Amino acid sequence: MKKFEKSYPGILILVVGNSGSGKDSIIKGVVEKFPRNKMTIRLAQRYITRPPSEFEGNISISPNEFKEMEEKNLFALNWHIYGLNYGVPIKIDKWLENGDIVLVNVSRTIVEETRKIYKNIKVVFIEVPFEISLKRLKERGRENKQQLNMRIERARKNKSFPAADYVIDNSKDLEYAIKQFLEYIKTITKD
């Protein structure tokens, strides 16, 4: 029998998808529209070693601050991609212990390892055609040319994610994607 490091009653939902797929917008919409008479839903803010962005609710920290937090075991999850460090605060464990649903935008590179740590986990892949990702990436203007090219190439190579438990189509309007996600949460939280 498989032994998990962390077995909580709450559900950890990892949201993955290419840059420009709309992960943050969908997550924000799901949290806003989640029925208040149901379980508590939480959005885990990530710590990132880059300047703050008006489009994301991340916490911007320096590489040294990130290293200090990592050494103090203040991250439940962390990874390095595109020359940046990302960390999810350990407080998600408390939320999961309370039986909450926790949504977090992560890199697909940590999914396999995270599945070994957390028992009650689901992975949702946000799928969009490459052309839409490309347009969104160029429009947001957040990355320098080298970073943009890295994200474009990764989006070109990773149009699907077979390890996902559920796939959301975000090629239509945002409300449609949010509705799909809310319906999925309803199916995984039925008694």
Q: For residue 90, what is the domain's CATH number? A: 3.40.50.300
CA nearest to 129, candidates 164, 180, 170, 176: 170
Predicted local distance difference test score (pLDDT) of residue 50:
83
Q: Provide the token pair at 81.
A: 């991609």
Residue 6 lies in a domain: no
Residue 1 lies in a domain: no
Confidence of residue 12 (pLDDT cuts 50, 70, 90): very high
Residue 125 lies in a domain: yes
Instruction: Report the domain count for the chain.
Output: 1
| Nearest-angstrom CA–CA distance, 72 and 66 | 10
- The answer to whether the Cα torsion of 186, 35, 121, 55 is positive or negative is positive
Residue 60 lies in a domain: yes
pLDDT at 140 exceeding the cut of 70: no
Residue whose pair of structure tokens reads 């959005």 in the numeric block:
43
pTM over 0.75: yes
Q: Round the average pLDDT of the chain to a whole number and report it.
A: 86
Residue 2 lies in a domain: no
Residue 169 lies in a domain: yes
Predicted local distance difference test score (pLDDT) of residue 2:
56
Question: b/e for 128-150, b at 16 or more Cβ within 10 A?
Answer: beeebbbebbeeeebbeeebbeb
Tell me: the pLDDT tens digits for 19-76? 778 888 899 999 999 988 778 999 999 999 987 766 667 899 999 999 999 999 999 9
Q: Which domain holds residue 75?
A: 11-186
Task: Compute how many other C-beta atoms are within 10 angstroms of the C-beta atom of residue 158.
Answer: 15
| Nearest-angstrom CA–CA distance, 38 and 143 | 38
Residue 5 lies in a domain: no
Are 151 and 143 in contact by the 8 Å Cβ rule? The answer is yes
Residue 3 lies in a domain: no
| Nearest-angstrom CA–CA distance, 181 and 129 | 18
Alpha helices in the chain, H assignment, sequence order: 23-33, 63-71, 91-97, 111-117, 130-140, 145-157, 174-188
Predicted local distance difference test score (pLDDT) of residue 1:
44
Residue whose pair of structure tokens reads 């990530």 in the numeric block:
46
CA nearest to 15, candidates 130, 101, 103: 103
